[in-house]
A = this chain, B = another copy of it.
């Protein structure tokens, strides 16, 4: 799964959990709402559980419950939770054997440039809350 689909799928699920708070929703219910495969959702949600963004309850009448205030839950926090390897990470090196010596100097330059870009993207995401997305989409959060 790519960075962007993981992030958008996570947000779809979280918006739904915010809407129906505090009722736990199973992966298949979230799948019905979002159109995302339930197994795929469980993979994403299990990462959010590890970061204490949602809680999971096993067994009958179990499911997932949002555990962070949508007003202070930032996109960057969701992004970092679902992205082990940096999503906007960009390759720069050539895989051919006879790489010129000068090449590594360029690679360092681009690695640093792309890392700057990564930081700017994360700063942008830090300014966006789950609540602001919900409102923009036209969903009413029931959190707290």
Contact = CB atoms under 8 A, between A and B. Distances in A.
Given A8-B110, A9-B94, A92-B5, A103 B137 contact: no
Given A96-B37, A105-B137, A120-B124, A114 B4 contact: yes
Given A4-B91, A121-B117, A124-B116, A34 B103 contact: yes
Contact of A92 (B4, B109, B116): B4
A interface, how many residues as a size bin?
Answer: 35 or more
Contact of A105 (B32, B102, B138): B138
A2 interface: yes
B36 A90 contact: no
Interface secondary structure of A, over-half rule = helix
Nearest to A89: B4
A61 interface: no
Interface of A: 2-5, 7-9, 11-12, 15, 32-37, 88, 90-94, 96, 98-100, 102-103, 105-107, 109-110, 113-114, 116-117, 120-121, 124, 128, 133, 136-138
Shortest Cβ-Cβ A-B pairs, 5 listed:
A4-B90, A35-B99, A35-B100, A8-B110, A35-B103
